[in-house]
A and B are shown apart, each in its own frame.
Chain A
């Protein structure tokens, strides 16, 4: 369980980045950095969880359950951000179509 303090620290960072990502505008360049940072943190979390799950004992159950709840919460938050980006991309495609219409009108 030596990884636990490190995992808790990492979880705190993941939580903070996710909250910030939900609050910052996607157009803001900070969002690019936050996403990359989150990707790195989630990768590191994966490694720590693998250590935690190498040979789990019964007394590890509360820790694992707590990590599961946190993971599911992170996943929900991440999905919200993902969905938001998807909506923006959809809007972007719509605007592009509109611009092309204007372009074709202008060319006439």
Chain B
């Protein structure tokens, strides 16, 4: 979004405006942008333009639709206008995405907790089963050892 704003501003400040048949640009009144987009003022050129072509300067900024101030206003509006502006639209989409993710995370957490409880129940039951089977094996070994004819080791 920032790059787009930069590019649009660059294009705007370098464009020419038709003022009563005469084409005027910021450059003509001593305002220039360097390759970083930074504006600088040539005071001598600006003073001359103010002295000799005030109508051109006025038209450069205020010509309906094409004047720089009007175009800037339209551009800024497209970003900051409530609800339909790009910033608000992005912000709303972000808020809605965040809410959706929050809901999904809550649902997932609940599902995980339920699954965890069930697994814990299965684990505890299996632990008891293993214990019981171990006890059964020990019982059978005891039974086998008690059979007649079994010589118990003297250790």
Contact = CB atoms under 8 A, between A and B. Distances in A.
A12 to B, nearest CB: 16
A75 B123 contact: no
Interface residues of A, number: 45
B137 A72 contact: yes
Nearest to B101: A106
Majority SS at the chain B contact face: helix
Contact of B133 (A31, A75, A96): A75
A78 B63 CA distance: 86
A65 B125 contact: no
Contacts of B135: 46
Given A45-B136, A75-B133, A75-B134, A60 B123 contact: no
Given A42-B136, A71-B140, A99-B109, 11 more contacts: A32-B122, A35-B121, A42-B129, A50-B139, A53-B143, A56-B147, A58-B147, A64-B144, A85-B126, A106-B98, A106-B105
